[in-house]
Amino acid sequence: QLQLQESGPGLVKPSETLSLTCTVSGGAISSSNYYWAWIRQPPGKGLEWIGYISYRGSTYYNPSLKSRVTISMDTSENQFSLKLNSVSAADTAMYYCARERGSRNYYDFWGQGTLVTVSS
């Protein structure tokens, strides 16, 4: 059974960089037809797609965050990562990593989520 687990600091200072890693077990992130996505949810609010990295390493980002976001992958560790720079309080959210099924682009496996708070 595929499992995803987010890790990273739970508290980030304003203007600094948020860095999270998603470790995947039970399947290889290099498997074709799957993308690896980050999605966030501010407290009490809805879901926002941040972006994904494909099994080939191609990336696509939400235009609203594109200038601040980088998603990368490490196939040797079976991990993919999110970096979001110049954070503000508006970036406080639960951050989820998820597997995105290519071509139909739905999320069939999710991590449990990690809460990141931006505060000094």
| Neighbouring residues of 44: CB distance < 8 A, sequence distance ≥ 6 | none
Token duo for residue 75: 């196939």
Measure the CA angle with vertex 95, ends 89 and 100; round to 5°: 140
Binding flag, residue 47, another protein (CB under 8 A): yes
Q: Which amino acid is at 100?
A: E
Closest CA to 94 of 80, 109, 113: 113
Least distance CB 120 / another protein (angstroms): 27
What CA–CA distance (Å, rounded) separates 74 from 53?
11
Closest CA to 39 of 26, 30, 48: 48
Binding flag, residue 108, another protein (CB under 8 A): yes
Question: Where does this chain touch another protein (CB under 8 A) — which range of 7-15, 26-34, 55-63, 74-82?
Answer: 55-63
Least distance CB 63 / another protein (angstroms): 6
Binding flag, residue 113, another protein (CB under 8 A): yes
Binding flag, residue 107, another protein (CB under 8 A): yes
Candidates 101, 117, 118, 119: give the one binding another protein (CB under 8 A). 101
Least distance CB 13 / another protein (angstroms): 26
Closest CA to 35 of 112, 84, 105: 105
Binding flag, residue 110, another protein (CB under 8 A): yes
Residues that bind another protein (CB under 8 A): 46-49, 60, 62-64, 96, 98, 101, 104-108, 110-113
